[in-house]
Amino acid sequence: MATTEVLLTTPLHSLHLELGAKMVPFAGYQMPVQYPAGIIQEHLHTRQRAGLFDVSHMGQLLVTGEAAAAGLESLLPIDLDPLPVNQQRYTLFTNDEGGVLDDLMICRRSETQFLLVVNAACKTDDLSYLQNYLSAENTVKMLEDRALLALQGPGSVAVMSELAPSLIALQFMQAAECEIAGVPCFVTRSGYTGEDGFEISLSVDCAETVARALLAFDSVMMIGLGARDSLRLEAGLCLYGHELNEQISPVEAGLSWAIARSRRSGEKKAGGFPGSERILQQITGAETQKRVGLLSQEKAPIRADTELQTVTGLPAGKVTSGAYSPAFERAIAMAYVPAKLAQPGTQLNALVRGKLRALEVVELPFIAHRYQQN
Amino acid sequence: MSERKYTDQHEWLEADGDLITVGITDFAQSELGDIVFIELPEVGAALSAGDEVIVIESVKAAGEVGSPLNGVVEAVNELLGDAPETVNEDPVGAGWLIKVRTDAAPDLSGFMDEAAYNSFTEDC
């Protein structure tokens, strides 16, 4: 590879190598793309049992201050007033054009403190953005001394019932502090695979101890970025830089549910976030393009940036993510298509190496979410 | 059968007279990861050395395999349509890709032997 870029490593780097990971550059880090079992086995294992993911490359940002909630509400289409301590939400940094700068999780840690988990590739920009736009009475800090692990899959809860039984009471998107293998951890019941699971924030110095304690269970297997991508794609979840970018609005992305009711037109805290005029108009109006799922009859992946056509050969948008789906044993993809072509059942073609490949528009997610929600 | 030879595109070839069997190496299948689709040329197709006539799609990446020689496709591995993972499992055996009948008596002296290929992959 003809790059002189110095890649960072996560605190689990030596563990990845010990487990036989293939390392690839990702967002400035050396990350495991797969282990010897391979992407398909890792994917299926996570769906059936439990997968452990090193997501320490992601940014953990702590925003603290009397004016933190008001400041964050000026940047995010969220209502933080009703958000209890240790409750997490999915939200987006929007720009003035109504596009998306990053998508993130935000969790209230106290009346005046919020923990944000942001994409690795965006984290330094997010940090300076917050430092620039939040008033000086707030502090914004990147938690460089924290690692992040995700335990995902139906077997996760049995593992936690042995290691940290207090976590079992959590519902999807709730958080708690606990100890795992003697290490203090901050855990949310969330993840990005569509499965029940936990995300564990902890000191970098103890990350390997906790990872090894989790891997000691027969049901837990280490999972690389390859399967992480096919799992999130089956779950119909957006990946920044693919389904989300500075030109695509949250409404087009099918994320209107992430715009708090109170921030919508005519409500008590309407607007007041970047791009709110365009975004709020789109919620009530008709979008021109929509994010859809596409299912192929064949196995060969139809990858990002592949051009789509209608059956009569007219342009019909572009694939944003494509993968082989171990669940369907066929290729699946997400794409933006003109709104009139977004109806499930619509037949489209993808142009792959000069040949047309048939695809059908299907409902998202491809695989139903199995979050813990009573 | 001649000694197995290797290309810098991570293909292997074995000659039986002027019939050359072509596949990808164990190194190549390992780099590609789980293979889910293989597109092979038609039997009877005329190939020129360097033509990218085979597409191998893994869950990670798409790879194109060029014909190492001039010739005509005499056989393709039909097994790979339903079981492309055979190339992961047995790349230099059951996972062969195509057999090419060469135009003239093949000269394989320009390709690497196993020792040369092994040292070549160490630099990859």
Interchain contact B74–A (C-beta under 8 A): no
Q: Is the pLDDT of residue A368 over 50?
A: yes
| Chain B residues lying within 8 Å of A327, measured CB to CB | none
Contact across the interface for A226 and B33, Cβ inside 8 Å: yes
Beta strand A197-203 with A29-34: parallel, antiparallel or unpaired?
unpaired
Interface of B with A in 48-67 (CB under 8 A): 55, 57, 59-60, 62
| Chain A residues lying within 8 Å of B56, measured CB to CB | none
- The tokens for A64 are 């603290």
Closest Cα in chain B to A41: B34
Beta strand A50-54 with A220-222: parallel, antiparallel or unpaired?
parallel
Closest Cα in chain B to A33: B60
Structure confidence by residue, pLDDT tens digits, A138-157: 999 999 999 999 999 999 99
- Binned at pLDDT 50, 70 and 90, residue B106 comes out as confident
Helix (H, G, I), strand (E, B) or coil at B14: strand
- The tokens for A36 are 């010897």
Distance from the A242 Cα atom to the nearest Cα atom in chain B, whole angstroms? 16
The one-letter amino acid at B73: V
Phi, psi dihedral angles at A336 (to 5 degrees): -100, 125
Interchain contact B116–A (C-beta under 8 A): no
The strands making up B35-39's β-sheet, listed across from edge to edge, are B35-39, B52-58, B62-66
Q: What is the mean pLDDT of residues B13-36?
A: 95
Interchain contact A324–B (C-beta under 8 A): yes
| Chain B residues lying within 8 Å of A303, measured CB to CB | 62
Q: What is the mean pLDDT of residues B68-92?
A: 96
Phi, psi dihedral angles at A162 (to 5 degrees): -90, -40
Distance from the B105 Cα atom to the nearest Cα atom in chain A, whole angstroms? 33
Q: What is the mean pLDDT of residues B70-88?
A: 96
CA–centroid distance for B115 within its chain: 18
For B37, the closest of A40, A299, A323 (CB atoms) is A299
For B33, the closest of A39, A298, A300 (CB atoms) is A39
What is the percent of chain B with per-residue pLDDT over 70, rounded to a whole number? 99
CB neighbour list of residue B73: distance below 8 Å, 6 or more residues apart: B41, B42, B43, B44, B45, B47, B53, B98, B99, B100, B101
Torsion over CA: A170, A174, A177, A182 (sign):
positive
Burial class from Cβ neighbours inside 10 Å (0-12, 13-18, 19+) for residue B42 reads exposed
Structure confidence by residue, pLDDT tens digits, A5-52: 689 999 999 999 999 999 999 999 999 999 999 999 999 999 999 999
Q: What is the mean pLDDT of residues A343-361?
A: 95
CA distances from A231 to A125, A324, A344, B115 (A): 27, 10, 21, 40
Structure confidence by residue, pLDDT tens digits, A229-249: 999 999 999 999 999 999 999
Helix (H, G, I), strand (E, B) or coil at B75: strand
Distance from the A319 Cα atom to the nearest Cα atom in chain B, whole angstroms? 16
| Chain B residues lying within 8 Å of A26, measured CB to CB | none
- The tokens for A316 are 């019909």
> Residue A285 has what pLDDT?
82
Interface of A with B in 4-23 (CB under 8 A): 22
CA distance A364 to B91: 37
B/e letters for B64-103, b = 16+ CB within 10 Å, e = fewer, are ebbbbbbbebbebbeebeeebbbbbeebbeebbbbbbbbe
For residue B8, count other CB atoms closer than 10 A to its CB: 11
Report the range out of A244-248, A353-357, B48-52, B61-65 with the highest average pLDDT.
A244-248
CA distance B1 to A369: 54
The structural domains of chain A, with segments of one domain joined by +, span: 1-235, 288-374
Q: Is the pLDDT of residue A2 over 60?
A: no
> Residue B119 has what pLDDT?
94
For B60, the closest of A33, A299, A300 (CB atoms) is A33
- Binned at pLDDT 50, 70 and 90, residue A106 comes out as very high
Contact across the interface for B84 and A299, Cβ inside 8 Å: yes
Q: Is the pLDDT of residue B52 over 60?
A: yes
For B60, the closest of A226, A298, A353 (CB atoms) is A226
Q: Which fold has domain A1-235?
A: Gyrase A; domain 2 (3.30.1360)
Interchain contact B81–A (C-beta under 8 A): no
* Residue A57 and residue A16 in contact, taking contact as beta carbons nearer than 8 Å: no
CA distances from A147 to A31, A55, A224, A354 (A): 14, 8, 16, 45
| Chain A residues lying within 8 Å of B26, measured CB to CB | none
> Residue A343 has what pLDDT?
97
What is the percent of chain A with per-residue pLDDT over 90, rounded to a whole number? 95
Q: What is the mean pLDDT of residues B63-69?
A: 89
Q: Which has the higher per-residue pLDDT, B62 or A311?
A: A311
> Residue B104 has what pLDDT?
78
CA distances from B58 to A24, A217, B43, B84 (A): 16, 30, 24, 9
Closest Cα in chain A to B53: A353
Contact across the interface for B59 and A323, Cβ inside 8 Å: yes
Structure confidence by residue, pLDDT tens digits, A261-283: 999 999 999 999 999 999 999 99
| Chain B residues lying within 8 Å of A34, measured CB to CB | 33, 60
Distance from the A186 Cα atom to the nearest Cα atom in chain B, whole angstroms? 33
Distance from the B15 Cα atom to the nearest Cα atom in chain A, whole angstroms? 31
- The tokens for B31 are 């780099």
Structure confidence by residue, pLDDT tens digits, A283-299: 988 778 999 999 999 99
- Binned at pLDDT 50, 70 and 90, residue A354 comes out as confident
- Longest Cα–Cα distance in chain B: 38
Q: What is the mean pLDDT of residues A107-131?
A: 98
> Residue A374 has what pLDDT?
82
The strands making up A100-110's β-sheet, listed across from edge to edge, are A88-94, A100-110, A113-118, A59-64, A139-142
B/e letters for A261-284, b = 16+ CB within 10 Å, e = fewer, are eebbeeeebeeebbbbeebbebee
Distance from the A326 Cα atom to the nearest Cα atom in chain B, whole angstroms? 10
Contact across the interface for A303 and B62, Cβ inside 8 Å: yes
Beta strand A347-352 with A355-362: parallel, antiparallel or unpaired?
antiparallel
- The tokens for B96 are 């062969």
Phi, psi dihedral angles at A21 (to 5 degrees): -65, 150
Q: What is the mean pLDDT of residues A174-181?
A: 98
Phi, psi dihedral angles at A364 (to 5 degrees): -100, 150
**Is 0.90 surpassed by the pTM of this model?**
yes
Q: What is the mean pLDDT of residues A66-72?
A: 96
* Residue A107 and residue A87 in contact, taking contact as beta carbons nearer than 8 Å: yes
CATH 2.40.30.110, applies to A288-374: yes
Helix (H, G, I), strand (E, B) or coil at B123: coil
Beta strand B35-39 with B19-24: parallel, antiparallel or unpaired?
unpaired
Q: Which domains does chain B have, with CATH numbers?
A: 5-101 (2.40.50.100)
Q: How many residues does chain B have?
A: 124
| Chain A residues lying within 8 Å of B55, measured CB to CB | 300, 353
